[in-house]
C-alpha cells in the first residue's frame, strides 16, 4: 500500500499581543512571498490582518550556506 507524501508545511511562530483590528490574541510570524519578494509578516489568525510586514531574506525560508558567511 503506497502512502501519499505529506504536503509541505510552514512553521508559524506564535507572537505575544492582540490584533488591533479584532482584539484576538492569535498573532503568528511567518514568511510570505508577494509581488515585492519575501517578507516576514505578523498576522492575526482570526481576521488575517497584517500587524507588521518587514523585508525578509531574498529566498524566503530557503537558507544558503553562502548567506551564513
- pTM summary value: 0.76
Tell me, what's the pLDDT at 41?
Answer: 96
Output the DSSP codes for 1-60.
Answer: -PPPPPPP----EEESS--TTT--S-EEEEEEEETTEEEEEEEETTT--EEEEEE--TTT
**Cβ atoms of residues 55 and 39 within 8 Å:** yes
Map out the domains of the chain as residue ranges.
Answer: 13-57
- Residue-wise pLDDT for 2-61, tens only, equals 677 777 677 899 999 999 999 999 999 999 999 999 999 999 999 999 999 999 888 877
**Cβ atoms of residues 21 and 50 within 8 Å:** no
Tell me, what's the pLDDT at 2?
Answer: 63
**Cβ atoms of residues 18 and 49 within 8 Å:** no
Amino acid at each position: 500500500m503506497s502512502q501519499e507524501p505529506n504536503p509541505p508545511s510552514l512553521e508559524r511562530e506564535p507572537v505575544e499581543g492582540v490584533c488591533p483590528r479584532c482584539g484576538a490574541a492569535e498573532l503568528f510570524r511567518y514568511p510570505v512571498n508577494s509581488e515585492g519578494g519575501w517578507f516576514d509578516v505578523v498576522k492575526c489568525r482570526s481576521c488575517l490582518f497584517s500587524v507588521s510586514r518587514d523585508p525578509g531574506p531574498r529566498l524566503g525560508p530557503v537558507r544558503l550556506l553562502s548567506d551564513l558567511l
